[in-house]
Structure 1
Amino acid sequence: MNNAAQHSLWKSMKLRRKFSTVSVAFTCVLAGLIAFNVLVLRSQSQQSLVTDMAGRQRMLSQKFTKEVLLVSAGTSSDTQATLKLMRDSLAALMEGGEIVTNLDTGAKADLPPAPTVEIRTKLAEQAVALRQYEAAANAYLGLPPGDTKRGERLKELLANQVLLSDSAEAAVKMLGHHADSSIQSMIALQVAVGLICAMAGLVVSSLIGRQIADPLADCAEAARKVAEGDLRIEPLQINSSDEISVLQMAFNDMLASQRDVALQSRTVCDALTSAANAILSSAQEQAAGTKQQAAAVQEITTTVEEISLSGKQVAERSRQVAGTAEAVATSGAAGLQAVRDASVGMEAIREQTETVAENIITLSERTQAVGEIIATVNEIAEQSNLVALNAAIEAADARDQGRRFSVVANEIKNLADQAKEATSQVRGILEQTQKGINTSVM
Structure 2
Amino acid sequence: MWYRLSLTWKVLLIILCGPILLAVVMAYLHISDIQEAAINGRLKESRSVVMMAESVREDMAHKHKVGVLRPLDELSSDPAKLLQAVPIVTSMNTAAAKAAEAGYEFRVPKESPRNPKNAPNALEREVLAEFSRTNLAEKVIVEKDRLLYFKPIRLSEDCMYCHGDPKGEKDPTGGVKEGWKPGEVHGAFVIISSLKEANEAVTMAALSVGGWTFGILIILGVLGWLLVRASLLKPLRSTGEFLKRMATGDMSGELKIDSGDELGRMQMDLNNMASSLRGIVTEITQRAKVLMGSSAELEKMSDGMLKNAEDLSMKSNTVATASEEMNANMNTVAAAMEQASVNVGTVAAAAEEMSSTISEIAGTTDKTREVTMRAVDKATSASERVDKLGVAAREIGKVTEAINAISSQTNLLALNATIEAARAGDAGKGFAVVANEIKELANQTATATDEIRQRIEGIQTSTSATVEEIAQVMAVIGEVRDFVSTIAAAVEQQSAATKEIAENVGQASLGIQEVNENVSQASMVTGEIAKDIVQVSDASGHISGNSTELKQSSENLSLLAGALEQLVKKFKL
Pairwise same-fold verdict (TM > 0.5): no
Greater share of residues in helix:
1
TM-score by length of 2: 0.30
Higher relative contact order (CA 8 A, sep 6+): 2
TM-score by length of 1: 0.38
